[in-house]
Amino acid sequence: MANKAKPRKSPTAPIPEGIRFLIAHENQNIRKFLLGCLQGMGCLNAVEWVPGRAILGTLLDEGAHVLIVNGETPE
């Protein structure tokens, strides 16, 4: 049996420094999961949206560059 070449796994691209993420998913477990994934990739500049607060106000207050949402937030 011939040796098959294994596809090389490309490394995860580093997140540029200074990029701020706001995670605004209504499900707390998913918010925690996404926050953990970002932290695992070296992004320590991510915050969670607290349901019940105005999302636009939070986005502006936190100065986020990237907004992660599920699209079902009633606001």
Mean pLDDT of the region 16-37: 87
Strand order in the sheet with 46-48: 46-48, 21-24, 66-69
Q: Which residues contact 63 (CB under 8 A, 6 or more apart)?
A: 20
Domain ranges of the chain: 22-69
Report the predicted TM-score, pTM, of the whole model to 2 decimal places.
0.67
DSSP state of 46: E
Within 41-70, residue ranges assigned H as helices are 55-62
pLDDT in tens, 39-61: 888 888 888 887 777 888 888 88
What integer best gives the mean pLDDT of the chain? 79
Looking at per-residue confidence, does 71 or 36 come out higher? 36
Residue 33 confidence (pLDDT) above 90: yes
Under 8 Å between Cβ of 21 and 62? no
